[in-house]
Chain A
Amino acid sequence: MLVLEQILNGIQFGIALFLMSAGLTLIFGIMGVINLTHGSLYMVGAYAAALVAAKTGSALLALVAGLAGAAVAGIVIEALVIRRLYARDHLDQVLATFALILIINQTATMLFGRQPLFVAMPPALSHSVTLLPGLVYPVYRLVVIAVGLVVALGLALPINRTRIGMLVRAGATSREMVRALGVDIRLLYTIIFGLGALLAGLAGAMAAPILAVQVGMGEQILILAFVVVVIGGVGSIRGAFYGALLAGLIDTMLRAFLPGLLRQVMAGSNADALGGGLSSMGVYLLMAIVLLVRPKGLFVRQS
């Protein structure tokens, strides 16, 4: 039962990572922009949800606010700054988006203070259910998993079936070709960036009731999301999905079972400390191994 529960936990964590890395991989793969502000958009989503939830008490409105807030913020950022960076190399993009992180974080501090905000859990989702005898699981986390799966499907269908999706897929492999097709790149880019921001906002709004909503929350998850993108392969939504699940599962499993395994071979407290240290490295080790075997990531054709 414990193993099953931990697998569920891993999937749930992976889903949260997927929502972040899906947007990131699109922006990265299609627009060729290293967007460090993605974590800030996640924060904007969480803040917008928290503020609206506090004002109205409605979880649904809060979710909508989180999505809208992040999407609007994303589109504004794209129009004001990112748009000027398409032609630049990665280095300028890193510096500019890093500067944006500083600006957004400080603005949030000035507007909303340094204290973490409170977000109420929707009452209908705040309890746990018994899935199997001995397996009790929080409803909210089940909902997170469900939403993530719906989003994954919702992204997969249009990407595989529609014209925009075709452009997205084509863009991931060859940006020049899409441009040659005479597509309004500018609009396509804004849409993609907005979509990425929307997904980050969704991740942020859903995390708001279970995490601390505070300045700097985005940077904590940003690095992990980048790791997932690279594991899965840049530009591949499918890669982001499986990469996120893999990272989530491995991270959770190591945290859950490694100290126990180590305790078989060494003293208890040493094993706990070492296990803690090793499981912190787990995801990074996974990425290093994946890249050594498949230098372009798991779900991208290696050239």
Chain B
Amino acid sequence: MSSEAIAQTAPAQPALALRLIVAAVIVALLIALPFIGKALGLESFTGLATQVLIYAIAAMSLNLILGYGGMVSFGHAAFFGVGGYAAGILYFHFADKSDFLGFIPGSNALLIALPVAMLVSGIMAAIIGAFSLRTGGVQFIMITLAFAQMLFFLFVSLQTYGGDDGLIMRRRQILPYLDTRDGTTFYYIALAMLAAWFVLTFCIVRSRFGFVLNGMRQNEARMAAMGYAPYPYKLVAFIIAGMGAGLAGALMANYLRFASPDMLHWTKSGELMMMVILGGAGTLFGPLLGATALVLLESFLTAYTENWQLPLGIILLVIVLFSHGGLSALIRRFMPGKP
């Protein structure tokens, strides 16, 4: 499915123009969304969209290793949760006026929480990745799951931080000059983070690093023969992906004002995977598409019927059986100027 994406790096001129227009429309829509929601009398739509954006960051980070790097991680929620807890624990110690491990003070500044969350998840990803990447294939899927489960059980038994009940943050962490408590402002914060992560992903994918990563997914032996040792490349990609999920987790904890072991559960890893696959693995916009589709579908179906899992399951099944490469492949099929 992603070989198509590669082929598209050199599209015909008119198609490029069209793609730029489409991208511009999407950006404009994303920026105008809170106002559209308000005009339609659907203020909660901003909140829903914020969740979509945050999940999109997490899915995009997973896509870097899953879609481009061919590393199917079934434990990505671990980094999402670690990021969330990093923000939550910083806030907890700020509110509690105590120190983490006796010497790290708490903080309620988002500008501290986000980098810390990324750093902690990055370190966690370095440790987990260093071990996991020694395996491959199905074994890699399962070993990442195993590490995520261990972290899940760890957070469940952390009594100080709420254990299974989760950690409540009374207020969102703050930014200078901006009111993070305002839903629309927080939406734009999430949007800015998504944009930043999108640009970063774009740069990585187009760089020599991205080229090597992609090459290894297709044929590791060939890349090795070209003199690229796979392990360090994969590990760096894994760490970057972990940091992205950590960022998303910290944002989510702030959005929900709540961090809970639910964020690290294997079903959450599954959900992130669904978003990537549904949208189209190995495509730039795929994770955003997938996150949008899954979150909106779930939200609207639960409002419509208590038996929402049935239609959701059928829709997912139909998409996967007939789309060959997720929603982005489906959309590409209907786009003119396809190479």
Contacts and interface: CB of A to CB of B under 8 A. Distances in A.
A95 B277 contact: yes
Contacts of B321: 81, 84, 96
Contact of A103 (B131, B274, B313): B313
Contacts of B312: 99, 102
Interface in B141-174: 141-143, 145-147, 149-150, 153-154, 156-157, 159
A90 B66 CA distance: 11
Contacts, number: 120
Interface stretch (B8-16, B24-32, B95-103, B132-140): B132-140
A94 B314 contact: no
A81 B91 CA distance: 47
B22 interface: no
A152 to B, nearest CB: 23
Given A98-B274, A106-B313, A91 B72 contact: yes
Given A91-B72, A95-B316, A100-B313, A223 B266 contact: yes
B143 A288 contact: yes
A226 interface: yes
A106 B321 CA distance: 20
A278 to B, nearest CB: 8
A230 interface: yes
A230 B144 CA distance: 12
Interface stretch (A184-192, A255-263, A289-297): A289-297
A95 B310 contact: no
Given A223-B266, A277-B154, A291 B310 contact: no
A94 B139 contact: no
A91 B273 contact: yes
Contacts of B146: 227, 284-285, 287-288
A280 interface: yes
A295 B310 contact: no
Given A34-B138, A94-B277, A292-B131, A99 B143 contact: no
A82 to B, nearest CB: 11
Given A91-B276, A92-B320, A292-B131, 16 more contacts: A28-B138, A34-B141, A81-B317, A89-B1, A91-B273, A94-B277, A95-B316, A98-B274, A99-B316, A102-B309, A103-B313, A106-B309, A110-B307, A110-B310, A284-B147, A288-B146
9 contacts: A90-B138, A91-B276, A92-B320, A103-B317, A106-B307, A226-B145, A274-B157, A288-B146, A292-B134
The 4 closest A-B pairs by CB, nearest first: A102-B313, A277-B157, A103-B313, A99-B316
Interface of A: 28, 34, 81, 84, 89-92, 94-96, 98-103, 105-107, 109-110, 223, 226-227, 230, 234, 273-274, 276-277, 280-281, 284-285, 287-288, 291-292, 295-297
